[in-house]
Amino acid sequence: MAAIALGAMGLATSASAGPERIGGKLPLTGGISTVEGSAGGGLATWALIAGDETEDGNGGAAQLTQVELPDFGLTVVSGSIGIRNRVELSVAHQIFNTRKAGAALGLGRSYTLGQDVFGVKVRVIGDAVWDQDKLLPQISVGLQHKRANRGALIRALGGKSSNGTDFYVSATKIVLPLSMLVNGTARWTNANQFGLLGFGGDIRSGRSLQFEGSAALLATPKMALGIEFRTKPDNLGFAREDASLDLFAVAAIGHHLTATAAFVDLGDIATFRRQRGLFVALQGSF
C-alpha cells in the first residue's frame, strides 16, 4: 500500500534521454497518502514530498481510503500540497466506525470516532530519485498535529488528552538498479491507535520512540509490490495495542491516478482481537 514512487523506476534510468514529464516529476514519484495524510505508504510516512511537481513548481494530491476489518471500519479523506518539492502541507479527516463492536462495548451500534490530522513536512537533504550516485537517502522531518473528537470517551478509557502532536524524521532511498525502494521513519509519539483513542494513558503518558519501515519492489513499469511495518505505543491499560503490518500492491492508472489494495493487520483493537482486513485507496495527483 505504499510504493507508488517505484513506478518511476522504468523511466528514471532513461532520464537522460528525456522521458515524458507531466507536472515536472517523473511519473509516480510523489508516493500515496498515509492514513494520516502525509506522502508515503498507507501506514508509513516517507521522506518524499506530495504531488507531481519538482522544485520548479507546486503540486498536490487528494485521496480516499477505506479500511475494512472484521469488527471495525476506517474511512479517510486526505489532501496535501507540495511546495517546490521542499515543503509538504497535509490534512486528513478520519472516521472510525465501531459497527457491531460498538454495541458490545456499550457505545451503541455503529458508534463513530473521528480525528483531524494537520501535517507539515520539510525535505532537509537529498533527492530519492536524482541522487542515485550518492549513498545519502532523501531525509525529511515533520510533525502531525491530531485532534480526536471523543474527549469524554477517551478520558473514560484512561487517555490523558484528545489532542496531541507526533514528530518524525524519515529517510527514503530508491535504488534504481535493483528496482527497489526502502524507507525508515522514527516517530516520537504518545498516540493511542494513531490518535483515535487519544494520547497518553494510564500505563504511560509521555511520548516514546516508534519505528516505521517499508520495502517495495517494482513488479512491472506500472505496478509495485511490498511490505510495511509500524510499531505503536501501548499506553492504555484496558486494551493492548499491537504493531501494524501490511502487504500492498499499487497500480498506476495514467500519470495522475493511482489505485492501491493491501492486506492489513492492525492487531488487537479495543479488546477485539486479530483485526486483519482490506485496505483500498484511490488517489489523484497534480
Instruction: Give the domain CATH number at 31.
Output: 2.40.160.40
Domain extent for 10: 4-285
Tens of pLDDT, residue by residue over 219-250, are: 887 888 999 999 999 999 998 999 999 999 99
Confidence class for position 12, pLDDT limits 50, 70, 90:
very low
**Is there a contact between 136 and 126 (Cβ–Cβ < 8 Å)?**
yes
In this predicted structure, the answer to whether residue 22 has a pLDDT above a threshold of 60 is no
* Rounded distance between C-alpha atoms, residue 175 and residue 165, angstroms: 32
The confidence score (pLDDT) of residue 55 equals: 80
**Is there a contact between 259 and 214 (Cβ–Cβ < 8 Å)?**
no
Tens of pLDDT, residue by residue over 140-190, are: 999 999 999 999 999 999 999 999 999 999 999 988 888 899 999 999 999
* Rounded distance between C-alpha atoms, residue 189 and residue 201, angstroms: 12
**Is there a contact between 31 and 41 (Cβ–Cβ < 8 Å)?**
yes
Query: C-alpha grid cell for residue 16?
Result: 537522460
The confidence score (pLDDT) of residue 148 equals: 97
Of the two residues 19 and 84, the one the predictor is more confident about is 84
**Is there a contact between 6 and 217 (Cβ–Cβ < 8 Å)?**
yes
* Rounded distance between C-alpha atoms, residue 261 and residue 35, angstroms: 14
The confidence score (pLDDT) of residue 19 equals: 39
The confidence score (pLDDT) of residue 16 equals: 35
**Is there a contact between 55 and 85 (Cβ–Cβ < 8 Å)?**
yes
The confidence score (pLDDT) of residue 201 equals: 95
Per-residue HEC secondary structure of the chain comes to CCCHHHHHHHHHCCHHHCCCCCCCCCCCCCCEECCCCCEECCCCECCCCCCCCCCCCEEEEEEEEEEECCCCEEEEEEEEEEECCCEEEEEEEEEEECHHHHHHCCCCCCCEEEEEEEEEEEEEECCCCCCCCCCCCEEEEEEEEEEECCHHHHHHCCCCECEEEEEEEEEEEEEHHHCEEEEEEEEEECECHHHCCCECCCCCCCCEEEEEEEEEEEEECCEEEEEEEECCCCCCCCCCCCCEEEEEEEEEECCCEEEEEEEEECCCECCECCCEEEEEEEEEEC
Interacting residues of 194 by C-beta distance below 8 A, sequence separation 6+: 35, 36, 94, 115, 146, 232
Confidence class for position 4, pLDDT limits 50, 70, 90:
very low
C-beta neighbour count of 73 within 10 angstroms:
16
**Is there a contact between 139 and 124 (Cβ–Cβ < 8 Å)?**
yes
What is the share, in percent, of the chain residues with pLDDT greater than 90? Answer: 70
The confidence score (pLDDT) of residue 149 equals: 95
In this predicted structure, the answer to whether residue 1 has a pLDDT above a threshold of 70 is no
130-163: buried (b, 16+ CB within 10 Å) or exposed (e) per residue?
beeeeeebbbbebebebebebeebbeebbbbbbe
In this predicted structure, the answer to whether residue 28 has a pLDDT above a threshold of 80 is no
Tens of pLDDT, residue by residue over 31-41, are: 799 999 999 98
What phi and psi values does residue 120 have, to the nearest 5 degrees?
-135, 130
Mean pLDDT value across residues 200-209: 95
Question: Among 282, 221, 285, which residue's Cα sits nearest to residue 66?
Answer: 282
The confidence score (pLDDT) of residue 139 equals: 98
The confidence score (pLDDT) of residue 221 equals: 78
The confidence score (pLDDT) of residue 31 equals: 78
The confidence score (pLDDT) of residue 27 equals: 58
The confidence score (pLDDT) of residue 49 equals: 95
Mean pLDDT value across residues 203-217: 95
* Rounded distance between C-alpha atoms, residue 215 and residue 231, angstroms: 15
Split into its structural domains, the chain has a count of: 1
